[in-house]
A and B are shown apart, each in its own frame.
Chain A
């Protein structure tokens, strides 16, 4: 009876499809049962014969090529697969270009701030830091007429702690601009105004930062790009910037 039980499982044993416990039990039974062992041998031989005989047909090269070439023309997914590498490469190029632009933009901004720092320091070191000496905005602003291809408004300082010392012509990247000198306490602040279209290499976003130990605030107002530059307290830089913004919008 025991062999009848196992015999029903010999096929599954030969196919390695019995649960682990039964696989072990059959394995332990076989050495003591010539009948089941012969049965298993027979089934394994048949299985091997089928395996060998069953691998009979091989596809022709022509069929392989037809399937490979024919399908993409008939199926959009395959067409897309064909373009997928190109699309991926294009996307990668866009990403790389974007990153390079970001890096280049950051580099250019650093260069610009370095130039402005030089201008600011050179102005303060000069024996004649301003070309037009006046604390009156109605005197300073008209001085730039005919010297600059644009105009701008200057703030009424009123009760603010700032005083206007005057202005001078400045050049950044061979583009003309205005440089105004303000004073607060013992600190002098440069306000640079350039045409934005001539300052394409400058980042157009607003910026409040510390560059080369100077405090800087920059923004765009219409077609003009403003930089407030100095070693004064950042809050003072910001207050003067706000006054300039109000004047520009008036």
Chain B
């Protein structure tokens, strides 16, 4: 099955729950097959599948409570925080604190978590992310910058034991 492992991984990150993720993946494939005629050949199949999964999640009880609908201060003009010589990343370079990174990712608002996972885990292009979550590329870039800043801040707090 195409994208099965990736979709499940993404579903788990969204739901934080094994059973809900399994239901979400099953429902995604059911909808994809049922609505396959609506898929336009030549367009991005992966983006189409993730869009189905994401929309299914957003209409679920967990999705409605996930904070996807919170308003952001601004989607545009995000200032990229400068890094210092000693950064959370340099401390985590040996990957010994992978669990800490996972926790930090899990604590991100879903709206940041998904864009971060699309870019760094699924290695989607900005264009592909924009298609998947139906936002402009500029918004993808600013949201991604905010997500990374938030993640960096989260890791820093964990390192400091806050």
Interface residues of chain A, those whose CB is within 8 Å of chain B, are 7-8, 10-12, 15, 17, 38-39, 41-43, 45-47, 49-60, 63-64, 66-68, 70-71, 74-75, 77-78
Binds A, one of B41-49, B50-58, B59-67, B93-101: B93-101
Given known A17-B125, A39-B82, A71-B29, contact A59–B8 (CB-CB < 8 A): yes
Q: B14-46 CB contact bits vs A (8 Å, 1 = yes)?
A: 000000011001100110011010000000000
CA distance A27 to B116 in the complex (A): 24
Given known A59-B4, A71-B29, contact A46–B105 (CB-CB < 8 A): no
Partner of A58, one of B1, B5, B117: B5
Chain A residues with CB below 8 A from B34, complex form:
75, 77
Given known A11-B80, A45-B93, A57-B12, contact A50–B101 (CB-CB < 8 A): yes
CA distance A185 to B48 in the complex (A): 82
Given known A50-B151, A56-B9, A70-B26, contact A77–B121 (CB-CB < 8 A): no
Chain A to chain B: the 4 pairs with minimum beta-carbon distance, closest first? A54-B121, A45-B89, A57-B12, A59-B8
Beyond contacts A56-B13, A58-B9: 16 other A-B pairs, Cβ-Cβ < 8 A, are: A10-B80, A11-B148, A38-B83, A38-B85, A41-B90, A43-B83, A43-B89, A46-B151, A46-B152, A49-B95, A52-B95, A54-B121, A56-B102, A59-B8, A59-B25, A67-B1
CA distance A55 to B13 in the complex (A): 10
B144 interface residue, CB < 8 Å from A?
yes
Which residue of chain B has the shortest Cβ distance to A15 in the bound complex? Answer: B119
CA distance A38 to B85 in the complex (A): 7
Interface of A is mostly: helix
B120 interface residue, CB < 8 Å from A?
yes
CA distance A51 to B33 in the complex (A): 30
Given known A15-B119, A57-B8, A78-B33, contact A42–B95 (CB-CB < 8 A): no
Which residue of chain B has the shortest Cβ distance to A51 in the bound complex? Answer: B120
Chain B residues with CB below 8 A from A41, complex form:
89-90
Which residue of chain B has the shortest Cβ distance to A81 in the bound complex? Answer: B33
Chain A residues with CB below 8 A from B98, complex form:
49, 52-53
Partner of B12, one of A45, A56, A66, A68: A56
The answer to whether B101 touches A42, judged by C-beta atoms less than 8 angstroms apart, is no
Partner of A11, one of B12, B101, B145: B145
The answer to whether A64 touches B4, judged by C-beta atoms less than 8 angstroms apart, is yes
CA distance A67 to B5 in the complex (A): 12
Chain B residues with CB below 8 A from A15, complex form:
119, 126, 144
The answer to whether B33 touches A47, judged by C-beta atoms less than 8 angstroms apart, is no
Chain B residues with CB below 8 A from A74, complex form:
30
B92 interface residue, CB < 8 Å from A?
yes
Chain A residues with CB below 8 A from B119, complex form:
15
Which residue of chain A has the shortest Cβ distance to B6 in the bound complex? Answer: A55
Shortest B30–chain A CB gap in Å is 6
Chain A residues with CB below 8 A from B4, complex form:
59, 64, 67
Chain A residues with CB below 8 A from B126, complex form:
12, 15, 17
Chain B residues with CB below 8 A from A59, complex form:
4-5, 8, 22, 25
B134 interface residue, CB < 8 Å from A?
no
Partner of B141, one of A12, A39, A75: A12
Chain A residues with CB below 8 A from B80, complex form:
7-8, 10-11
The answer to whether B21 touches A57, judged by C-beta atoms less than 8 angstroms apart, is yes
Name 12 A/B residue pairs within 8 A (Cβ), A-sorted.
A15-B119, A15-B144, A38-B83, A43-B148, A46-B89, A50-B101, A54-B121, A57-B8, A57-B13, A58-B5, A71-B33, A75-B30
- Residue among A15, A47, A49 with max Cβ neighbours from chain B (10 Å): A49
CA distance A58 to B25 in the complex (A): 12
Which residue of chain B has the shortest Cβ distance to A11 in the bound complex? Answer: B145
CA distance A53 to B154 in the complex (A): 15
Partner of B87, one of A42, A47, A50: A42
